[in-house]
Amino acid sequence: MTVSERSEQLKSDANVKGVGKFNQDLPAPFVPGQKLEIGAILNFPEEWTEENVKERAFNGKVYTFAIIEMILANGDKTTFDYYPNSEVRPGFVYKLVDGKAVLDTTITNKGDLYDHMASFMGKAEKDADGNITETGTQKAMDALLGQSFKVEALSDYETVKFKDGAPIDELQTKQMHTINRV
């Protein structure tokens, strides 16, 4: 699937619209449907457009993502919905103690892509009145234009599963990654 095909596919989703820029710094509270695999190459486009930058409404908030080309290890081309601020969102590892979820530790993604995104967090440009004129996310994503990254490692971890906001006596497997410049 190409970026154009993915963009066209998303037109039928009433919760998604093309915007062309990254206008907020919210990390998505969900994991994109596509999975990364070791050896995949993520190719960022030469420019941001309404075709490759979208907003998705979810639970009353809007989250911006980029549709980027992903070349799988076997050479197949597809796309990946990249939520930039989710790159720096930690993974929370909970354990169940007396029916309550207790935070055990946090883990983060690793590699050049994580380091790049983290370096721009909280670095928005503001006008004289303190209004944001350019988000740190926009600056970070602009700096990624035309670059390629390779998924070098995937790390699974187990944490307590939640249902309707409450912990249940069941574990779920989540994943963090290491992505470096090609």
What is the per-residue pLDDT across 164-175, written as a single tens digit (0 to 9) for each? 889 999 999 988
| 107: containing domain | 3-181
What is the DSSP-derived secondary structure letter of residue 84? G
Return the residue matching tokens 């994991």. Answer: 31
- Cα end-to-end span (Å), the chain: 22
The first and second tokens of residue 159, run together, are: 């944490």
Joined together, the tokens standing for residue 50 give 């309404």
Produce one character per residue of 135-170: b if its CB has 16 or more CB atoms within 10 Å, e if not: bbbbebbeebeeeebbbeeeeeeebbbeeeeebeee
Task: Kindly state the average pLDDT of the residues 25-53.
Answer: 83
pTM of the predicted model as reported, rounded to 2 decimal places: 0.85
Model confidence pLDDT, tens digit, residues 89-134: 888 999 999 989 999 999 999 999 999 999 998 888 889 998 888 8
Helix (H) or strand (E) holding 9: helix 3-10
| Residue 158 structure tokens | 């187990």
Residue 135's nearest CA partner among 21, 44, 55 is: 21
* Overall domain count for the chain: 1
**Residues contacting residue 85 through CB under 8 Å, at least 6 positions apart:** 25, 26, 27, 28, 117, 121, 137
Q: What is the mean pLDDT of the chain?
A: 89
DSSP β-bridge partners for residue 175: 156
pLDDT at 78 over 90: yes
- The pair of structure tokens assigned to 115 is 């380091």
